[in-house]
């Protein structure tokens, strides 16, 4: 539905008192005016008036007298089918916790390289909770602002946030590694500082505080390092490494995922690299959302199990 159709639909809804549809459903389900009035704590007269208003809107009497009660017309039966589906969707939007079959979109904001190493496990855990849950990725620019403005349910980042309204859970650790292509003409498995200083590099352009710090430390160790290719996309950098004699410094877990697809190798290097933690950040107010709170706990526990299994 495009914007024009959406606007037309909204204008139609503005002219319709949606309370009338609630009364219609009550009459349909209770098979009578009096029973519907009792269910809604209204007078039979007000229910009858509401049904009359609906008859003026729809081209059908909706209900006809049948002995001592009333019966819905075929038109009313079809109308009930669509209205009940709409009410179910509205109730799902208001409360995700009372029905395990309800759908929910979990929105996570993070950088692509973090999504690559965390989302498969997160989605598998969501499916265990509810097969109708949907995982949605949105780009990350500012973690604190994203959470404060509620643009995402969760943020996954490597930089901690020092805000009293934000909590964090450590998911895993990672580190950067030097990589080159397989069958590199001058390098194999190990990289000395002298060798690194004589090589050309591909580099990721990043705004991530901790990664920028690590790049700075590498630049300090290799002040003459020449960057022949730079990209905001780490996959582009890995592709350049695979097809040229360039070296790069990339997140190790990301490299491990793509080694089967890219002919590259990780190098042991004299230049020390610092490990970093990958954190899941969320608003403290998430505890008021029972479903989101449960999802946070499940995700956190899954990564604890994964790390324990990798060490075992």
* pLDDT score of 307 more than 60: yes
Range from 87-91, 95-99, 181-185 carrying the lowest mean pLDDT: 95-99
- 282 within 8 A of 156, measured Cβ to Cβ: no
pLDDT, one tens digit per residue, over 120-159 is 999 999 999 988 889 999 999 899 999 988 889 999 999 8
> Which residue bears the tokens 């990725």?
137
Q: Which DSSP category does 16 fall into?
A: S
pLDDT, one tens digit per residue, over 236-251 is 999 999 999 999 999 9
Query: In 3D, which of 185, 177, 152 has the Cα closest to residue 283?
Result: 152
CA atoms within 13 A on the CB side of 148: 10
Mean pLDDT of 193-197: 91
Q: Mind giving me the DSSP string for 109-164?
A: EE-HHHHHHHHHHHHHHHHHH-TT-EEEEE--S-HHHHHHTTS-SEEEESS----T
> Which is more confidently placed, 178 or 210?
178
- 248 within 8 A of 177, measured Cβ to Cβ: no
- 234 within 8 A of 151, measured Cβ to Cβ: no
3-state percent helix, strand, coil for the chain, nearest multiple of 5: 50, 25, 25
> Which is more confidently placed, 100 or 107?
107
Q: What is the pLDDT of residue 151?
A: 87
- 235 within 8 A of 189, measured Cβ to Cβ: no
Query: In 3D, which of 298, 303, 205 has the Cα closest to residue 253?
Result: 303
Mean pLDDT of 175-186: 94
**pLDDT class of 9 with cuts at 50, 70, 90:** low
φ, ψ at 85 (rounded to 5°): -65, -40
Q: Mind giving me the DSSP string for 205-268?
A: ----HHHHHHHHHHHHH-TT-EEEEEES-HHHHHHHHHHSS-BEEEEHHHHHHHTTTS-EEEEE
Strands (E), 158-218: 166-181, 190-191, 200-204
Q: What is the pLDDT of residue 205?
A: 85
């Amino acid at each position: 539905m495009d914007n024009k159709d959406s606007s037309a639909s909204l204008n139609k809804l503005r002219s319709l008192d949606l309370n009338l549809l609630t009364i219609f459903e009550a009459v349909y389900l209770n098979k009578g005016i009096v029973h519907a009035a009792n269910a809604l704590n209204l007078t039979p007269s007000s229910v009858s008036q509401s049904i009359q208003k609906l008859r003026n809107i729809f081209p059908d009497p909706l209900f006809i007298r049948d002995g001592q009660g009333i019966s819905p017309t075929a038109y009313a039966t079809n109308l009930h089918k669509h209205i009940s589906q709409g009410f179910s969707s509205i109730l799902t939007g208001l409360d995700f916790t009372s029905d395990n079959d309800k759908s929910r979109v979990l929105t996570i904001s993070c950088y692509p390289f973090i999504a690559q190493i965390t989302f498969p496990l997160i989605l598998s855990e969501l499916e265990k909770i509810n097969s109708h849950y949907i995982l949605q990725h949105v780009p990350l620019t500012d973690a604190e602002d994203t959470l404060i403005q509620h643009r995402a349910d969760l943020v996954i980042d490597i930089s901690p946030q020092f805000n009293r309204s934000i909590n964090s859970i450590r998911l895993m650790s990672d580190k950067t590694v030097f990589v080159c292509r397989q069958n590199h003409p001058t390098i194999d498995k190990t990289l000395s500082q002298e060798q690194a200083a004589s090589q050309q590099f591909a580099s990721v352009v990043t705004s991530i505080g901790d990664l920028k710090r690590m790049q700075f430390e590498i630049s300090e160790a290799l002040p003459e390092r020449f960057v022949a290719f730079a990209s905001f996309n780490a996959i582009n950098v890995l592709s350049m490494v695979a097809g040229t004699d360039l070296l790069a410094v990339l997140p190790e877990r990301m490299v491990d995922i793509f080694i089967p697809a890219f002919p590259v190798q990780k190098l042991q290097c004299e230049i020390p690299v610092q490990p970093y933690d990958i954190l899941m950040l969320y608003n403290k107010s998430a505890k008021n959302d029972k479903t989101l709170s449960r999802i946070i706990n499940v995700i956190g526990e899954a990564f604890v199990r994964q790390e324990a299994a990798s060490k075992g």
